[in-house]
Structure 1
């Protein structure tokens, strides 16, 4: 059977109730001190903060799993880059979806409009996060492998707040006199690389007076995470100015200059960084789509472009997992095999051949996840909800807007989750690791392609969703063995 023991049993240091209370208080204070924070939005105070949910101790993770996931990042980014620049491939992948998913259709219309007019800015920037879960190789083995959950090309967050978790966990282990070395808890600072990518893109724009625009939401709990990134930009080059705007503000303030410069309150924008705009609810009127079109038309470097946004669709992920498709975009048998080894079953629902997998999912819904073309957490369907919804849409064109995915049998362990509404007792948990990366390109050339750190988040085993800012999971660090 799979090994499932308390992380403190691994470390040999069980906690008494009194000591646990003290540890939660002290480590929580250390997390706040080190910037592991989120903004409380339901308050009249503009800058009231609380700790992000976190694990009391780092979770034990095989070092080869982390090395494998990090080592694959640049190859995955090359694949997505080539997908985003392959019009016919994306058109074929998304054609069924466009008839039933109005949001994706609106994005596709923006993409085709700008493509027809002629691209004003050849340079693209994308900050990615490639998410994996760990799975035991078989029922009688403790060896773990990584399986891909999704590849994020839009608003790949938490690179800032994760940057201090190593120090938080070094502190918690030290409080308990648990020995460790730097190789077991290595430094991890994703925003240093993400900021480097943004500054590189800003310099490619070649206007020292231009700004980087962060597009954010209201309310915005992620403010501390975004400021981590701004801080690292400031440390690289203090001449780079960052401004923050919401969609409603930009609808009033954006104009295009004579040469399609993107102007916000008269300031020329070099780089547009979207942390908002990935969900249909972010576009309540036509004005938001018009704004997105105007930004896409502009000379500003987009992070991401609409093409990269579409390339991150679940439908694209499903097609890339089909036999022979990766070979269209990347060379090298070993690289292709390594990428493919992380895939689980992904199934389209829009053909006559889909009836068999739909029948299997209805009979054993616990083995699958039903996924729409949505980001931000809380959108996937599991178990009874999956079965009920699939029964509803199985004979409807709407099924084209969903994919089925094998449910990953995530490797269980135990840890204490310090999260509002959840007691700190040891519980069965599972972890998800996301690898951050930077990619800068033109339609014909990859200018920058590098990996820059990771996010480990851990949630109760019984929880289906794993979003951090939606409150489902906790920040964590890998204790490498």
Structure 2
């Protein structure tokens, strides 16, 4: 384990192996020998959060009736130090991961094998699977699909060289990936905070982030492929949430002729109809692309009407983002099976790509195998080494520590254990930063970061039309915090200071 380094070292650049090691326990602020006084810290917080609001790093205030009232999102005061090769590797893997997930989604027999033991104990996934099976048996009305993804990693010290870091996969998100707008704005926020403190940096050390531009380009390309200039893009949203507006602005900047409409599930149940050739019609307007920002959690489907709505959309000619097949391919169960020996070879021929993808995996364990009792016992005895995960999106669903132990004790002999996977807890690289979030003090503290890489994938079952990486998101949280979600956890939006 690395020792704390308490001396303040003044130097203009962070480039040597020693500096990389120091960056594990020091912040940019500390590393340049410029600790903030209480008075200066108060001024910095006021100015930097104001700059965050100006640049769009904001969220809706929930405890208000005013739909447009916002406050700055939780942020780090300074960017967090990150080795440039970690960001480079994570970005380089994105297109390979996207191809892999699409191949999985189009392998019906593989999907069936993966979910065979899960459907009897997970009612929500079973409902989604039934929709997927119905559409698969009928044949899709639309062969083109659009997927906007985010591949999440945490950084872990490399065993062979403590000065280096490996990126280890947390999960691959295929549904309603969030944070792109806030991530887009943080580079300017942190360039501003560094400049206020006269901390030197090169432009390439805080790299530009093109997440919105790339995702909007994917939506526009899908709309063009639909080949009806009068058709609209439908954003399926939660009531009163601003997260998707960044994407609408990106679409508008690329092509002002494209109309974007917002609808909730309850609105669509009333307003949606179909044309003669399965065209999706909302309020008399044909829909070219359906982009889901809602529909990933059981609470989004309180009645059978919501499941019927999802089935009807899936049956339509509209291009879906994502399709139900891709939605299911992003489940934790698929992640666990792909980590098993020999499974990647079913989908990938290139041995170098297989090696690179597999290098990001940590231990993932099914709980319903004949030999699962051994790993279950280990997790009960040492719960701090593991995370227990269900097939859920949206954050706040995983179990840690005593909660993990107690729940495993409860289900270890029950069929219900099939609905969960066990994952080695990533021993994330620790560093230092100030977190500006309600409920947390602004003192410089021990933190860990999660790196998400955005991407866009468009294809038919036989042809890959678009496949590109589209920027990044960094979320930083106290080292003792479990959840890294911006809504459900203690995470703050961050950006990388590359060394």
Task: Give the TM-score normalised by structure 2.
Answer: 0.95
Other-structure match for 1:277: 295
Other-structure match for 1:127: 148
Segment drifting more, 4-13 vs 162-171: 4-13
Other-structure match for 2:344: 326
3-state SS of 1:213 partner: strand
3-state SS of 1:97 partner: coil
Q: In the TM superposition, what is the alpha-carbon distance from 1:69 to its structure 2 partner?
A: 0.2
Q: In the TM superposition, what is the alpha-carbon distance from 1:42 to its structure 2 partner?
A: 1.7
Q: In the TM superposition, what is the alpha-carbon distance from 1:476 to its structure 2 partner?
A: 0.3
Q: In the TM superposition, what is the alpha-carbon distance from 1:6 to its structure 2 partner?
A: 3.5
Instruction: Confirm or deny that 1:184 pairs with 2:205.
Output: yes
Q: In the TM superposition, what is the alpha-carbon distance from 1:472 to its structure 2 partner?
A: 2.1
3-state SS of 1:71 partner: helix
Q: In the TM superposition, what is the alpha-carbon distance from 1:189 to its structure 2 partner?
A: 2.2
Runs of 4+ aligned structure 1 residues displaced above 6 Å come to: none
Aligned residue among 189, 196, 212 for 1:168: 189
Instruction: Confirm or deny that 1:450 pairs with 2:468.
Output: yes
Is the CA contact (8 Å cut-off) linking 1:459 and 1:466 kept in structure 2? yes
1:28-71 CA distance string (max 9 Å, x none): 00000000011112202121000010000000000000000000
Give me the whole-angstrom Cα distance separating, in 2, the residues matched to 1:109 and 1:382.
Answer: 31
Instruction: Confirm or deny that 1:84 pairs with 2:105.
Output: yes
> How many residues end up aligned between the 2 structures?
478
Instruction: Confirm or deny that 1:336 pairs with 2:336.
Output: no
Q: In the TM superposition, what is the alpha-carbon distance from 1:477 to its structure 2 partner?
A: 0.4
Instruction: Confirm or deny that 1:19 pairs with 2:37.
Output: no
- Map 1:260-275 onto structure 2 (within 5 A): 260-275=278-293
- Map 1:98-137 onto structure 2 (within 5 A): 98-137=119-158
Aligned residue among 232, 236, 244 for 1:211: 232
Q: In the TM superposition, what is the alpha-carbon distance from 1:142 to its structure 2 partner?
A: 2.8
Aligned residue among 260, 278, 289 for 2:307: 289
3-state SS of 1:231 partner: helix
Give me the whole-angstrom Cα distance separating, in 1, the residues matched to 2:222 and 2:69.
Answer: 33
Q: In the TM superposition, what is the alpha-carbon distance from 1:11 to its structure 2 partner?
A: 2.6
Q: In the TM superposition, what is the alpha-carbon distance from 1:140 to its structure 2 partner?
A: 7.7
Instruction: Confirm or deny that 1:312 pairs with 2:333.
Output: no
Measured on the aligned residues, the alpha-carbon RMSD in Å equals 1.0
Give me the whole-angstrom Cα distance separating, in 2, the residues matched to 1:409 and 1:420.
Answer: 26
Q: In the TM superposition, what is the alpha-carbon distance from 1:4 to its structure 2 partner?
A: 1.4
Instruction: Confirm or deny that 1:256 pairs with 2:278.
Output: no
Q: In the TM superposition, what is the alpha-carbon distance from 1:141 to its structure 2 partner?
A: 1.5
Other-structure match for 1:354: 372
Q: In the TM superposition, what is the alpha-carbon distance from 1:351 to its structure 2 partner?
A: 1.7
- Map 1:423-438 onto structure 2 (within 5 A): 423-438=441-456
3-state SS of 1:68 partner: helix
Instruction: Confirm or deny that 1:142 pairs with 2:163.
Output: yes
Give me the whole-angstrom Cα distance separating, in 2, the residues matched to 1:332 and 1:467.
Answer: 34
3-state SS of 1:201 partner: helix
3-state SS of 2:116 partner: helix
Is the CA contact (8 Å cut-off) linking 2:396 and 2:489 kept in structure 1? no
Gaps of 5+ in 1: none
1:191-216 CA distance string (max 9 Å, x none): 10000000000000000010001111
Gaps of 5+ in 2: 3-23
Instruction: Confirm or deny that 1:58 pairs with 2:85.
Output: no
Aligned residue among 398, 422, 426 for 2:440: 422
Give me the whole-angstrom Cα distance separating, in 2, the residues matched to 1:477 and 1:242.
Answer: 30
